[in-house]
Structure 1
Amino acid sequence: MGALHPRPFLKWAGGKTQLADALLQRRPAHFQTYHEPFVGSGAIFFRLYREGLIQRAILSDANAELIDAYRAIRDHVSEVMEILSGLPHSKEFYYKIRSQDPWSLSLPERAARMIYLNKTGYNGLYRVNRQGRFNVPFGRYKSPTYLDRENLLAASRALQHVEILCAPFDTVIERAEVGDWVYFDPPYVPVSQTANFTSYYANGFTLQDQERLRDICIALSQKEVYVMVSNSDAAIVRSLYASPYFAVDEVQANRAINSNGAKRGKITELVITNYRVDQLLEPRLQ
């Protein structure tokens, strides 16, 4: 990819790089501001940017360390790259930097630490314990690319005029206006006891949070805002969105993050919209 083609600079559980085609095929034909309240890897934002489909964006997340990484790449990318260039790839150094308190570091140092741990930690996971401390073990990589200068510079350019907020997902209701598009990619409802990534936040993402998300989607629909939600193909998700406001569509996705390689493969996920995909200019709420 060239300098004008930024990709996500972080790996993320549930990242949407491999689902981007299916999601973009289901986007509204026309929209004003793009909002992504669970930004994660930003795969959809970067894809929209690469294809020239976005004019204004507001990216947000409740994960303060993640949001600071975005802000650092936008505003201090040279400093982040300089710090990354001096970090050795070793198990000993990994645990040394992992033990640091990120909030004792400068913004560029904190972002460099997060990128380094993300690219050298086990399976590209971001996981925190109940105290909010990153606790992923060292990964098995021979030569991980945590300093990708070209892509970091491209990501920085893509983010230059983007508003980046540390905020709970429900605050999007205060920002989104008629004709905007909000894409929600929340921590998924687990389809089994072991498929649970709620440790993305130290306090988890509960069924009550999923219900609150559905309620926010209804409120946005009433404001004539386009809404898209990704989630697992779980009975509770289908039940939550069994409403005249929503259309539920199935897509095939790859399960990319699993400690057991045999359990990775094609699975069905749901894409929920408040407009008909076959008539993108006709919201279901009208």
Structure 2
Amino acid sequence: MRTMMHKDRLVAPVVKWVGGKRQLLEDLTPLFPKRVMSYCEPFCGGGAVLFKLQPDTAWVNDINSELIRMYEVIRDDVEELIRALGEHPNEEEHYYRVRDWDRDKEKYGNLSKVQKAARVIYLNKTCYNGLFRVNNAGEFNTPFGHYKTPNIVNEHTLRAVSAYFQRAQITFSSTDYAEVLAGVAKGTFVYLDPPYDPVSSTANFTGYAKGGFDRAEQIRLRECCDELDRRGIKFMLSNSATEFIKEQYGAYQITIVKAKRAINSNAAKRGQIDEVVVRNYK
């Protein structure tokens, strides 16, 4: 029998991500299956759950190909990445120059994988509210954050994540979530953290990749969950606690947790909000 790898406490998210689950880990941890050897996360984002569980085998996917490339560079070229990050100062003029790299498609295409990965981390650490957002052309468009001492080069975390990626069997991909779920093997635990159903007409945020995630997508995802359930595969899903979502997953176990809303531009409107955790197991 295989033994589970030792968990490294330094393994943690290297970027801040909209809807990241780091602040909810205390609520989610008791709800995970007791033993997770094989794991699948189709909407990885910042990877807080992945890094908490540190499974031996994992399929890690996100539709944002820049993010997945960053993870691959952390696995394969972490020292070169750390050196590249050290070349980026926390200066507004430099920030906008780097942000605009993707406006020239030919020039951007000639950058190395390490340069592109360093750009993602640098912009994430220095942009306003750590908000990774792109416009309809797929270009990063968040303004400068004006932080005094952002941790641009978090060497210890980057090296720890790289070491975990190297010792585990992890498959990275950037494709449609349904394709990922169709390939999940029995015995794998699936955690789903899709773009949330908006709690109001002004609360929607799906700008981490081109396109969006409307209610037709929410229904398609629920149908994928039904298929996982039919195949005997355990899944957990997070979403906002709207009546629509609660109706969609009415056949499953639903737990309500309190999450802190942090991306509202009005600080007074940031606060506690109900989320659902859906499971097809006890």
8 Å contact from structure 1 (residues 187, 200) kept in 2 = no
Q: Which amino acid in the other structure matches residue 224 of structure 1?
A: G
| Aligned with 1:104 (options 100, 110, 119) | 110
Structure 2 residue 194 is the aligned partner of structure 1 residue 215? no
For structure 1, the 5+ residue unaligned runs are: 277-286
Within 2, Cα distance between the matches of 1:164 and 1:200? 18
Structure 2 residue 131 is the aligned partner of structure 1 residue 130? no
Aligned to 2:14: 9
Question: Residues 138 and 176 from structure 1, CA distance in 2 versus in 1: closer, same or farther, beyond 3 angstroms?
Answer: same
Structure 1: 4+ residue segments shifted above 3 A: none
Aligned to 1:59: 60
Within 2, Cα distance between the matches of 1:126 and 1:164? 20
8 Å contact from structure 1 (residues 11, 118) kept in 2 = yes
8 Å contact from structure 1 (residues 129, 135) kept in 2 = yes
Q: Scaled by the length of structure 2, what TM-score is found?
A: 0.92
Q: How does 1:76-87 map to 2 (within 5 A)?
A: 76-87=77-88
Q: How does 1:1-286 map to 2 (within 5 A)?
A: 4-49=9-54, 54-101=55-102, 102-160=108-166, 161=168, 162-243=170-251, 246-276=252-282
CA-based RMSD of the aligned residues comes to 1.4
1:181 deviation in Å?
0.5
Instruction: Write the deviation string for residues 158-212 of structure 1: whole angstroms up to 9, x where unpaired.
Output: 2123211112111123321222110000000010122111112211111111111
Q: Which amino acid in the other structure matches residue 264 of structure 1?
A: R
What SS does structure 2 have at the residue aligned with 1:171? helix
Within 2, Cα distance between the matches of 1:103 and 1:249? 45
Q: Which amino acid in the other structure matches residue 183 of structure 1?
A: Y
**Residue range with higher mean Cα deviation, 230-239 or 155-164:** 155-164
Question: Residues 23 and 4 from structure 1, CA distance in 2 versus in 1: closer, same or farther, beyond 3 angstroms?
Answer: closer
Q: Which amino acid in the other structure matches residue 86 of structure 1?
A: E
Question: Residues 105 and 120 from structure 1, CA distance in 2 versus in 1: closer, same or farther, beyond 3 angstroms?
Answer: same
8 Å contact from structure 2 (residues 73, 113) kept in 1 = yes
Question: Residues 103 and 187 from structure 1, CA distance in 2 versus in 1: closer, same or farther, beyond 3 angstroms?
Answer: farther
Q: Which amino acid in the other structure matches residue 147 of structure 2?
A: Y
Within 1, Cα distance between the matches of 2:120 and 2:179? 25
Within 2, Cα distance between the matches of 1:65 and 1:261? 29
Question: Residues 104 and 194 from structure 1, CA distance in 2 versus in 1: closer, same or farther, beyond 3 angstroms?
Answer: farther
**Residue range with higher mean Cα deviation, 115-124 or 188-197:** 188-197
Question: Residues 141 and 23 from structure 1, CA distance in 2 versus in 1: closer, same or farther, beyond 3 angstroms?
Answer: same
Instruction: Write the deviation string for residues 58-102 of structure 1: whole angstroms up to 9, x where unpaired.
Output: 111111111101111111111111111111111000000000024
Q: Which amino acid in the other structure matches residue 117 of structure 1?
A: L
Within 2, Cα distance between the matches of 1:180 and 1:126? 29
Within 2, Cα distance between the matches of 1:88 and 1:174? 43
**Residue range with higher mean Cα deviation, 24-33 or 266-275:** 24-33
Percentage identity across paired residues of the two chains: 43
Aligned to 2:4: none
Aligned pairs, number: 269
Q: Which amino acid in the other structure matches residue 259 of structure 2?
A: A
For structure 2, the 5+ residue unaligned runs are: 1-6, 103-107
Within 2, Cα distance between the matches of 1:250 and 1:121? 31
1:103 deviation in Å?
3.5
1:259 deviation in Å?
1.3
8 Å contact from structure 1 (residues 177, 223) kept in 2 = no
8 Å contact from structure 1 (residues 74, 157) kept in 2 = yes
Within 1, Cα distance between the matches of 2:109 and 2:194? 25
